[in-house]
Amino acid sequence: MQRWRTRFFTIWTGQALSLVGSSVAQFALVWWITLETGSATVLATATLVAMAPTIALTPFAGVIVDRFSRRRIMILADTFIAVVSLWLAYLFWSGAMQVWHVYVVMLARSVGGAFHGPAMSASTTLLVPREHYARVEGLNQIIGGALGVVGPPLGALLLSLLPLHGIMLLDFGTAAFAVAPLLWFAIPQPARSVSVDGGKSGFWTDFREGLRYVVAWRGLVALITLLVILNFLISPAFSLTPILVRMRFAGDAILLGWFNAALSLGVVLGGLILSAWGGFRKKIVTTLLAVIGLGAAMVMTSLTPVSIPLVAVGGFFLAGVTLAIGNGSLRATFRGVVDPAKQGRVGSLMRSLSTAMNPLGLGIAGPVADLMGVAFWFLLGGASLVGGALFGLVLPSLRNIEAEAAERADASASAIDAARDGPDEGSEQPRDA
């Protein structure tokens, strides 16, 4: 059983190092856009272009992840993203870089991510024992928070030391850390369903099967709804932090830095807590209690007197801690209840819906904040999270989702145990017509 640690953490470390390179490259690219255009519209357009494949393509990418070797998909996706970085390095080196290239790069990297994200997530379920899901998700939260703290200053430092094409080459080089372990280690592949006559199920059959799997399970619908609501309320709030700092607290860039640093450090601490603790036995309870804490932190921020902004900074820190614990526990719940053979499809659907909430939430939160103030959105969002989580604690379909999963015919527990020690390419088994 201990050999899982070597395999998983070698792959995980390679992916983490690649993320550092991508974070620095992203910072450098955004700064170049800022210097070249000074246009918020260009930055916003680039962000929307990057979101588009995640929203539109990811549900279909999930079908491919469940149909084919997840290891090969990750290798191809990582390699594709690396080649895009190499092309970007050439453009900067040759002096041919134009603003429209940014849109192409953002789109291409997002396409690669639409396949890589679901493949890595679904693979983790079979690489890690069930009892360590929450701890591993805590580590993922640590990486996300640490990149928020270290990424910008590291990017600024490297910009002072290297030309832009050098930074893009660095991103290309760190991709090797992600790909190399995948060439060495096999990743268990769940058995693929086939029809009773022995034929392989088609793409659209698998797509519809994934949708039916979600719709027919009220607890899973409630879990996905919880994630969607979280993104709808939280993403706009933290995106509007500069307005909160400037208009409510009359703060400057230094105070904004304190807010951002507090949030990221809170995420790191929350990830450390979750990775060491692992959460309650019922991971969904850990999730809902953390959401209540997150809502309370947002309410605390909204009600902070304008004369003591450091209290609001503390609210951001608490929000980061609870966000990491809640998000990590939610993902651990997902891993523990969803059939491994369908996690590519279900996880992709969750990712697509949650990403779609970013522009939708901003489109609604912006006018509301202009009319009522950003603090009002924090208050509204925080109160909604507290109320929604309390409702979830008394909602049987959500509160008992883990117990229900154990009783289902395709419960993930037996499927994971059957697949974890299996070969890289999964075998096929008959399925009822």
Domain ranges within the chain, ordered by starting residue: 1-189, 201-419
The domain defined by 201-419 carries CATH number 1.20.1250.20 = yes
- What is the average pLDDT value for the chain, to the nearest integer? 87
The confidence band for 210, taking pLDDT boundaries of 50, 70 and 90, is confident
User: Directed axis angle between helix 99-127 and helix 412-420, to 10°?
Assistant: 90
Question: What architecture does CATH give domain 1-189?
Answer: Up-down Bundle (1.20)
Q: What is the pLDDT of residue 196?
A: 40
The whole-angstrom separation of Cα 224 and Cα 203 is 23
**pLDDT value at 426 more than 70:** no
The confidence band for 373, taking pLDDT boundaries of 50, 70 and 90, is confident
> From the CB of residue 7, how many other CB atoms can be counted at a distance below 10 Å?
17
> From the CB of residue 396, how many other CB atoms can be counted at a distance below 10 Å?
12
The confidence band for 431, taking pLDDT boundaries of 50, 70 and 90, is very low
User: Which is more confident, 376 or 422?
Assistant: 376
First to last CA, the chain: 37
Q: Residue 127 in contact with residue 8, Cβ under 8 Å? A: yes
Identical fold between 1-189 and 201-419: yes
Q: What is the pLDDT of residue 409?
A: 47
Q: What is the pLDDT of residue 193?
A: 55
Q: What is the pLDDT of residue 375?
A: 92
**pLDDT value at 432 more than 70:** no
Q: What is the mean pLDDT of residues 401-430?
A: 59
User: Which is more confident, 433 or 236?
Assistant: 236
> From the CB of residue 355, how many other CB atoms can be counted at a distance below 10 Å?
23
Percent of the chain exceeding pLDDT 90 equals: 51
User: Positive or negative CA dihedral for 149, 151, 156, 162?
Assistant: positive
Q: What is the mean pLDDT of residues 280-285?
A: 94
Q: What is the mean pLDDT of residues 123-151?
A: 90
Q: What is the mean pLDDT of residues 106-125?
A: 91
**pLDDT value at 34 more than 90:** no
User: Which is more confident, 148 or 219?
Assistant: 219
The whole-angstrom separation of Cα 138 and Cα 63 is 27
Beta bridge partners of 428: 192
Q: What is the mean pLDDT of residues 370-388?
A: 93
Q: What is the pLDDT of residue 421?
A: 56
Counted residue by residue, the chain has a size of 433
